[in-house]
Amino acid sequence: MSETTVAGLTTEEMIVNVGPQHPSTHGVLRFVVTLDGERVNECVSHIGYLHSSLEKIAETLRYEQYITNTDRFDYLNGLGNELCYVQAVEKLLGIEPPLRTRFIRTVMAELKRISSHLVYLGCYGNDIGAVTIFLHAFRERELLMDIFEAVTGGRLLYNYLRIGGLRNDLPTGFGDQVHRFLDHFPRRLTEMTDLLTENRIFIGRTRGVGMLTAEQALSYGVTGPSLRGCGVPYDLRKLRPYAAYDQVEFDIPTFPEGDCLSRHLVRMEEMRQSLRIVRQLLDKMPDGEIQAEVPRRLRPEAGEVYERVESPRGELGCYLVSDGSDKPYRMHWRGPSFYNLQVLPEMVRGGLVADFIATLGSLDPVAPDIDR
Amino acid sequence: MSDSRNNLGIATELRRRFGEGLLRAEEDEPGTLHVEVDAGVIVEVCRFLSEQAQPPYPYLSDAFGADYEDHLQVVYHLFRPETGEGALVRANMARDEAVLPTLAGLYNTANWAEREIAEMFGVTFDGHPDPRKLLLPDDWVGYPLRKDYNLPDHVYLRPEPLHEDPQAFLAGEAEPEVTDE
Amino acid sequence: MANTVVKTILDVIRVWAENLARHWGIPPVFVSILAWIAAFVFVIVLVLLMVLLAVYLERKVSGYIQSRLGPMRVGPIGLFQTPMDALKILTKEDIVPRDADKIMHTIGPVFFFVVAVAGYVVIPWDRGAIAARVVDLNIGVLLVMALSSLGLLGIMVGGWGSNNKWSLLGAMRAVAQMISYEVALLLAIVCVVMQAGSLSLAAITADQGGSLLQWNILRWWMWPALLLYVIASAAESKRIPFDIPEAESELVSGYHTEYSGMKFGFFFLGEYAHLFVIALIGTILFLGGWQSPLPGSIADFVPGFIWLMAKALAIIIITMWVRWTLPRLRVDQLMQFAWKGLVPLGFVAILVTGLAVALGLGGGGI
């Protein structure tokens, strides 16, 4: 504890707990923050409140049984997690899914990305104090939820992807439903930009706050929009295309400043790019089978695979080891929020309490994704 | 773009430098280099891959453990942000003396990753700057992701159990205690 | 005249009470005390009704802005929702943290509420001399401002007495913010006082009489003061973008984190009462108080009381509109804005008003 004396008065640091129950921790997280007045001197993260042993559970379930668990850790990106896991198992088995399946998976993953960024947008507005944007963002997300419900039957937990295929083909009218969304959403996005992103107070709260240099971000393994907000165009969809990303044109938005505002702008622009991807995929959607030939019992040869996809939060990794039986010998998830959160103390040191909240929100962490 | 010749060159160079410690260095799928080494040389191998290899794999994106019953393995995933290529570097060690030099000095990423491996697999990271538990409670006993780990019948995440006879309480035989505090 | 309805009713009650007292042989001094108590009861009932209305409006306005309906279930279009919530809060358990200072914890909200309500006694509700307000002070506007800064003490005591770090931080922020913005607010009020030549709220209202063009909002030399008042009063009522002391996403709930039941209710009521008194003062200072926009026309048949309320409600709805649109400022930005932006603007406003008054533009003056 440092004590300084100003005109005979002593001051001392105050230690406060942000969380585990706090309005802006985005789940159950805890930070022990040392404050000097309003200034943050030190921040220590305590995580693990939502640890759910997903890696150990995988060792007790057959490959096809585990899919339902993948929705559950990064619950804002359920279909993206399924995609990562299913691709890893397919690589182990040497199965190539049909083209139509790859298209549908990509469409769903991109819609899920928009939906996840909308949740970010709403929650971030809430963190900054703009309450209204939350409801506007969730209203649009509801349209996406309707689409997911029509396709998979679920709104949050889908269990839709299958190894080598999908549970069911797209329902009739899917194209129209998505096209309606695609036509309607850009206007709403502009409206939300007017409401929040272009607000002077919002810019004042986020510009130059929570600075992260590209070197810092890379050395801490920060990925996703947070890294692209430092000007590094690292996006696995482009660098190592999987599913149907090699079939579409899109840009990787980057902003070089590395502050909360640039991370926010990256996500706003990514939503527009996702719309572009979905539109192209729908136009080119091929007909055909949705299920590849898959053996009845899945017993991959002994071996291992490390599959990576780009989740809305960053690089999502899935490491699978097979010992030749029908259950994974070992599986590991690289949760992007886990590594993104690690850098937080570097970003908030010396800032104000309000900046701490703004910085935390701009990393868009999902607590179960941190703890897995 | 991934250039297999580069990875072959790196593998050759690795073989030349770390002949004995190196167990495996190959590229079995395009754009991913696989390296397997003894625990002793892991820091040198990673430093070589990050700083001297042409082109280098300068950053660590992920690290995790695996229990192969006869030995423990820690896997590091290095990556190159320009191309997205990755290198999986494995370090093997015996189960009964699971000690590994820390990579936290080389990569900031390793800090939390190694803390997680340490509590889940019982690997001690020599020289780690912050060797506390990360995800598990501080008083947790055992290493849950090891293959021989058995979950205790009842796990109390509080310092003291709520009831003086928890087994009877859970079986419905004892009345709940009402305390003032 | 129809616009003296309130005055007439109050006079009838007063005369009736005086006659009754004379009949029973009670000395006249007790009669005045009783009359004062009656007036306070009238004010408190009015305040509570207005608070309920303001809370209901807040929920409806925010619902409209956020494309939802707001309360709809209890009563027609949800009208009974807020009374029911008020009843609910009365029945809730009062929790005091174990290590809190119990006396301070209790005094804080009560003090805050009492001070917020006390400001109403000098408001001139309607035309007429005594009956239209509880007391007629020749320093009315000064009293309101003094009471409103006294409310701070309640916040500080409550925040400190809760023994919670978030509460303390919220209370400290509240003190810093209110002290800074009170300066700006007073500078704005000084302009109006210069224009009217009196500190009495009745005199300030009278200064704006005659026609719509006499209202301070339509006198161009008052515009700097108006701008200052709008911003500073928003900060004074601690609403977004100035809700730093509560700052839900940062400080959990600020100074009332540890409050429940009716103690929280006092803070809540006090806040809306304060919001309303600020809107009323704003009406009196800039919108001509109880005066109808077109004196001498048919608008005169609407009582002045109704005009005052309608104008104040319009101000409240605008502050709600702002609240549900903007993000929150940061504490240092707030301070910079107050001391580097508003205070200099206040001196400019005083200069402009002073010149205008000296040149005799307003007709009034010192």
* 3-state class (DSSP) for residue A140: helix
Q: Is residue A30 part of a domain?
A: yes
Q: Is residue A170 part of a domain?
A: yes
Q: Tell me the CA distances in angstroms from A348 to A100, A353, C129, C148, one per residue in order.
A: 46, 9, 59, 36
pLDDT tens, position by position, A111-121:
999 999 999 99
Residue of A nearest to C65 (CA): A132
Residues of A within 8 A of C247 (CB-CB) are: 129, 354
**Cα A274-A112-A72 angle, rounded to 5 deg:** 150
Nearest CA to C115 out of C142, C148, C145 is that of: C148
Residues A263 and A190 in one domain: yes
Residues A208 and A265 in one domain: yes
d(CA A166, CA A50): 29
Residues A87 and A14 in one domain: no
State phi, psi for A111 to the nearest 5 degrees: -60, -35
A234 vs B31, B84, B107: nearest CB: B84
Does the structure show a pLDDT above 50 at C365?
Answer: no
Residues A109 and A174 in one domain: yes
Residues A37 and A176 in one domain: no
Sequence-separated (6 or more) residues with CB below 8 Å from residue C67 = A135, A136, A139
Domain final residue pick, A18, A35, A51: A51
Element of type H or E holding B74: strand B71-79
Percent of chain B having pLDDT more than 70? 79
A56/B144 Cβ within 8 A: yes
Q: Tell me the CA distances in angstroms from C227 to C191, C316, C348, one per residue in order.
A: 12, 16, 12
Lowest-pLDDT range of A9-18, A180-189, C338-347: A9-18
CA-based nearest distance A32→chain B, Å: 14
Residues A97 and A59 in one domain: yes
d(CA C304, CA C307): 5
CA-based nearest distance A346→chain B, Å: 11
CA-based nearest distance A310→chain B, Å: 11
C247/A204 Cβ within 8 A: no
- Which ipTM did the prediction report? 0.83
Q: A68 lies in which domain range?
A: 53-364
List the subunits that have 3+ CB pairs under 8 angstroms with C. Answer: A
* 3-state class (DSSP) for residue B130: coil
Q: Is residue A306 part of a domain?
A: yes
pLDDT recorded at residue B130? 84
Residues A246 and A305 in one domain: yes
pLDDT tens, position by position, C288-334:
877 777 777 776 777 777 888 888 889 888 888 888 888 888 888 88
Does the structure show a pLDDT above 80 at B114?
Answer: yes
* 3-state class (DSSP) for residue A329: strand
Query: And the tokens for A242?
Result: 């999987």
Residue A149, by phi and psi: left (phi above 0), alpha (psi -120 to 50) or beta? alpha
CATH assignment at residue A246: 1.10.645.10
Local confidence band at C90 (pLDDT 50, 70, 90 cut-offs): confident
Domain final residue pick, A34, A51, A68: A51
Between chain A and chain C, how many beta carbons pairs sit less than 8 Å apart?
83
* 3-state class (DSSP) for residue B23: strand
C251/A201 Cβ within 8 A: no
Does the structure show a pLDDT above 60 at C37?
Answer: yes
A129 vs C68, C165, C243: nearest CB: C243
Query: And the tokens for B12?
Result: 């050759």
Nearest CA to A240 out of A300, A295, A309, A290 is that of: A309
> Looking at the 3D structure of chain A, how many domains does it have?
2
C248/A23 Cβ within 8 A: yes
Residues of A within 8 A of C63 (CB-CB) are: none
CA-based nearest distance B58→chain A, Å: 8
Which one of A138, A353, A357 makes the best mutation probe of the C interface by having the most chain C beta carbons within 10 Å?
A: A353
Domain final residue pick, A36, A51, A66: A51
Residues A246 and A152 in one domain: yes
Residues A22 and A142 in one domain: no
Lowest-pLDDT range of A283-292, B170-179, C95-104, C246-255: B170-179
pTM above 0.90, yes or no: no
A23/C252 Cβ within 8 A: yes
Sequence-separated (6 or more) residues with CB below 8 Å from residue A28 = A19, A20, A21, A49, A50, A367
Q: Is residue A337 part of a domain?
A: yes
Residue of A nearest to C165 (CA): A16
Burial of B162 (0-12, 13-18, 19+ CB in 10 A): exposed
Residues A208 and A351 in one domain: yes
Residues A81 and A15 in one domain: no
Residues A161 and A62 in one domain: yes
Q: Is residue A109 part of a domain?
A: yes
Average pLDDT over residues A258-285: 91
Give me the sign of the Cα torsion angle C16, C17, C18, C24.
positive
d(CA C177, CA C241): 12
Q: Is residue A370 part of a domain?
A: no
CA-based nearest distance B81→chain A, Å: 6
* 3-state class (DSSP) for residue C56: helix
The most confident of A3-12, A132-141, C148-157, by mean pLDDT: A132-141
A205 vs C243, C325, C330: nearest CB: C330
- Concatenated DSSP letters for A38-60? TEEEEEEEE--TT---HHHHHTT
Residues of C within 8 A of A352 (CB-CB) are: 330-332
